[in-house]
Every structure is written in C-alpha cells, then in structure tokens.
Structure 1
Amino acid sequence: MHYDKIVERDAAYAVARAALSHTRPKRLHTQDYHEILWLVNGKARLHLDDGRRVLTEGDLVFMPPDCAHGLQGSGEESHLVNVIVPTSEVVALAARHPIATRFFAARGSAPVIIHRDIRALSRLSSRAVTLESAPRSTLHLEAFLVPLLAELAQEARDLPPNLPDWLAKALIAADDPEVFRDGAAGLVAQCGMTHAHVARTMQAHFGMTPSDYINARRMAFAARQLAGTPDSLSEIATEIGLSNMAHFHRLFRKQFGMTMRQYRIKHQKSVIQPV
C-alpha cells in the first residue's frame, strides 16, 4: 500500500476508524508508511509473517513500513483507530527527538506493541478526536505525536537515562506476549546479547534477573485478562507461556497480594468505550 494512493494530496497524515472483520485476511500486506493503531474495544488477531499476536482493548501498535501484516477481529465487535504517518515525518521527528526510534521501528522490523490502561486509552482516543477534526498539517500531527511519545517515554517503567539502547528497546518489546511467552529467553533474544551479559546489565540497572522482569510482565498481562476478559485461567496461562499452574498462582499472588479469583471479582467490569 502506498501513502500517496490512500492519503489526500499534501496531507501530512490520515486518521481512520474501523470495525474489524472476523474473516481471516486472505493475504498479508505491506505499506510504505508508518502506522499507529489501537483497539478501543474487543480483541483482534494481528497476523504477521512469523505468526500472530493477540491484541486486546488498549493495545497500541506502532507498525513500521514493509512489515507484512493483516488484522482480524475476534469475539465481540473489534473497533480500532489508526493514524497513518509518512516516513518523512517520522524521520524529521526522530532527528529532534531520538527516543522516537524506540517506538517507530526501522523499515521491515517487527511492530512495537504497548498496552495502555483505561485512563491512557481515554487520553489517546480524545487526542485522536482532536487530530481527526484538525487540518492535515505537520503541526497538528506533531501536536498528537509529541505528547504521546513523551507519555510513553515517561512511563517506560522509569528506565534509567544511562540504560543501553539495546536493552531499552528489548524491554519495550517484552510487553508483547509473543516475547514474554518464551520467558527470559524471549527477552534475551530481543537483546541480541548473551544471557550472561543481559543478566549482568539488568542486575546493575534494576536489581533483578531477566526471569524476574519477564514474570512481572506476564503477571501484568494476566491481570488485564482477568479484569477485561472471560478467559479461563488455563487459557491465560497458555497465553503467557506458563504451563505450571501452581507456579502461575504463586507468581500472581506474590505480585498482587491476592488470588486470581479474588482479583477477577474485584476488578472485572464491563468494557468501557472511550469517547
């Protein structure tokens, strides 16, 4: 897909909303632009060359150019918002704010997926409404992108300023179930370093092992599934890559101070559609 074929002439960006079809895409497609998309309701499958990712309400995806992909709705109606951003705008933004490259991945790379909680999702959707009604100028695009990037950078688990860039990118990627499902090995693979080097670096900066970090991400994901979906414990265990249910229960209780059943009763609520 080509930017100049789907975006109005001289427009710096495009915004669209869609209800995803439940039909599996017949083929994956690529594009010559960056795309930001997020689910405001429901679940979806993001199909990629190397498999698929399950997206839930609040998942924010930074899709790079030349990454073959397709989307499919799952379960109840799946609604998404997407913002199309030309590569030239990303390059210009990254020149002034290098941290943008942590989220806008290089051409042909895997997408970066970050979960937004209900408050952050509401802010994001509100900004999208403003962007949608604004002139399609670089000024208004940056008025949307800069606060989003600043918010993501600020809350990126308070990453130390001297953290190696390879580790910072790997930790962001580790929010993806496709990564943490493989445990510490999944994180180490994202780093491109030896396990021993990754472990030493994480111990120096965070005082924890790769396994400790990944298990925390797994439990955070499990908590979101408990609160926002009817998925069974065994289904959630499979999603996060834990086959030992007793170990799963121990990890969850250690992180949240209650059982998964107690957590679900306390936190489960109806899906809220952000305005």
Structure 2
Amino acid sequence: MASHTLHHADILPNGTVIHLTRAVLTSARPKALHDHDFVELFWVQNGTVRHHLPGGTATLTEGALILLRPGQTHALQGKGDAALVVAVALHPELVDDLDARLPPLTFWQAADSPGQIHRDMHQLTALNHAANLLERGPHDTLAAEAFLLPLLADLARNDTGLPIAAPVWLHRACAAAHDPAVYREGAAGLVALTGQSHPHVSRSLQRWLGQTPTAYINRIRMTRAARALTSDNEPLPVIAEAIGLNNLSHFHKLFRAHFGVTPLQYRQQFQRDVVQPTP
C-alpha cells in the first residue's frame, strides 16, 4: 500500500491542541496507509476493527486502545456493520511538553511500533465519560491535560513494564494481575489468565522481563502491602492475608527483600514519622 500524511494544521484550528472524532468504519479495504505529524490516540468503542500496519494486519476488539507517534503508518477497516472508533489528535507541542514532564510509561512512549493496551468495561466507561466532557468544553491545553492525565495516571498505576513488542496475551494478563482477585492466587492466578501453559508463561516472562511469574506477582503484592502500611493501621497479618500470603514469616522475608526494612520499620518511616516526626 502507498501512504500519505495527515497534518495537525488541517485538523487542529488555531488555539486548539486536541481534537476528538467519532467514526463508524466502512468494511472497504483501505487503499493506502497513512501517518501523521501529530500523536493519535484511538480506541475501539464498538465492534471489531482490522488494523492495517506495514508488517501486516491485527484484529482489534472493543476496548483496544492504540497510540501512534508521528511517522507510524496504519489504516483502519471495519469488520461488520457496527465498528465504531473514537480518535483523538494531539498537537505536537502538547505532546513534547508532556514527554518532558511524564515519568517513563511504556504505552505512552512507544516509538518503534504503536502502543496498544486493553481497557475493560469499567475503564472504557471512564474513558468515554472523559471524552464526553472533552467534547463539551474548550480544546485548549487545560482541557487536553484534564482528559489525558487521569488516563495516563491509571495506566502508570498498572504499567506492566512489558515492551510493546511482547505478545498481546501477556500484556493483558500482566495488566489484569494487578487485580486483587488475581495476585492473591500467586503465580497460578497469573498463569490462569493467559490460557497458556505454566512453562510457556515462564519462558515468555523471562524473555520479556527477566522475571519468573512468582517474582512478577510478588512485586505487585509487595507494592500493595507497602501502600497499606502507610494508609491505614491494619495489623500485619491482615495485610499479608489481603495480598494472598497467609505465612507471616514469608511475608516478612519478601518485604525485607523488596524494601530493605521490615514491614513495621516501613510503616514507621513512611506513615507515623511523616505526620508526627520526632526530633
């Protein structure tokens, strides 16, 4: 396929830095790929979409969220009669400013290939609510950041750390592993999400992150435990049980390995001493 370029000057009127479009896709095969001189963020609101890329095609289902940087070529094709996408164009200067301020986030900073992540029903509802607010207000920098930052903060909270090139099934499983119902079950909970065998999941995590499934889940568990230690006064056995560790001695061992201090020392350092410091 040949390709052509879309320019932000044709899409973003003077004084605007963000533009939202809703479109029902036709089922006609695109005649050409296109790229942009701006960042495009789009998600599949309804139906199924065939995503054409230089290296082939991918099937996107409801909840797929895609980010394309300038120079990344693609095209969209509906599969069926109800393929609806919502696309957001972001001014290059807005993106440059965010790039300079944001911490590392795999999805946002994808450069070699489009960023892709899946939004579940509740996350998609929140995204659509934010889109509705954006549509009703000005399209200036404040409105753009009010739309983008909650989304990116949510993605950062559950960032898998996986490169974009990692398999989609692994991205989805690692993102879902932040759900308490999953990490309480340990490595078995993560593996069950994938539909793959335990050895295959282990090899894949070692390849893409250099970790075992157990190590990946324990990192999530310890992060959740650390938050609990500074935000409430629950006894340690309650916190350990909440993250799926009924053996208190094992909890202490894992926590010290991750943070270098015991859970009680961590609580004192980051909870009590912050609000009631001693000389």
TM-score class, shorter: 0.5 to 0.7
Matched, 1:2 2:12: no
1:126 is matched with which residue? Answer: 129
Task: State the alpha-carbon separation in 2 of the partners of residues 86 and 111 from structure 1.
Answer: 17
Which 5+ residue runs of structure 1 have no aligned equivalent? 160-167, 188-194, 209-275
Query: Are the counterparts in 2 of residues 173 and 179 from structure 1 also a CA contact under 8 Å?
Result: no
- Tell me the amino acid that sits aligned with residue 43 of structure 2: W
Residue 18 of structure 1 deviates from its aligned partner by 0.4
Change (3 A) 1:200 1:43: closer
> How many equivalent residue pairs?
187
- Tell me the amino acid that sits aligned with residue 202 of structure 1: Q
Residue 95 of structure 1 deviates from its aligned partner by 1.4
Task: State the alpha-carbon separation in 1 of the partners of residues 207 and 22 from structure 2.
Answer: 40
Query: Are the counterparts in 2 of residues 20 and 71 from structure 1 also a CA contact under 8 Å?
Result: yes
Residue 201 of structure 1 deviates from its aligned partner by 2.2
Matched, 1:145 2:148: yes
Aligned with 1:73 (options 75, 78, 86): 78
- Tell me the amino acid that sits aligned with residue 27 of structure 1: A
Task: State the alpha-carbon separation in 2 of the partners of residues 196 and 144 from structure 1.
Answer: 33
Task: State the alpha-carbon separation in 2 of the partners of residues 89 and 43 from structure 1.
Answer: 30
Identity in percent: 36
Change (3 A) 1:130 1:49: same
Matched, 1:99 2:109: no
CA RMSD between the two structures: 3.1
Matched, 1:176 2:168: yes
Residue 123 of structure 1 deviates from its aligned partner by 0.3
Which 5+ residue runs of structure 2 have no aligned equivalent? 1-5, 173-193, 219-279
1:29 alignment partner, SS class: strand
Change (3 A) 1:146 1:199: closer
Query: Are the counterparts in 2 of residues 14 and 136 from structure 1 also a CA contact under 8 Å?
Result: yes
Residue 119 of structure 1 deviates from its aligned partner by 0.5
Change (3 A) 1:32 1:200: closer
Structure showing greater radius of gyration is: 2
Q: Which has the higher contact order (CA 8 A, sep 6+)?
A: 1
Aligned with 1:206 (options 208, 212, 216): 216
Task: State the alpha-carbon separation in 1 of the partners of residues 142 and 207 from structure 2.
Answer: 40
Q: TM-score, normalised by structure 2?
A: 0.60
- Tell me the amino acid that sits aligned with residue 151 of structure 1: D
Query: Are the counterparts in 2 of residues 18 and 79 from structure 1 also a CA contact under 8 Å?
Result: yes
Matched, 1:30 2:35: yes
Q: TM-score, normalised by structure 1?
A: 0.60
Query: Are the counterparts in 2 of residues 38 and 60 from structure 1 also a CA contact under 8 Å?
Result: yes
Change (3 A) 1:197 1:38: closer
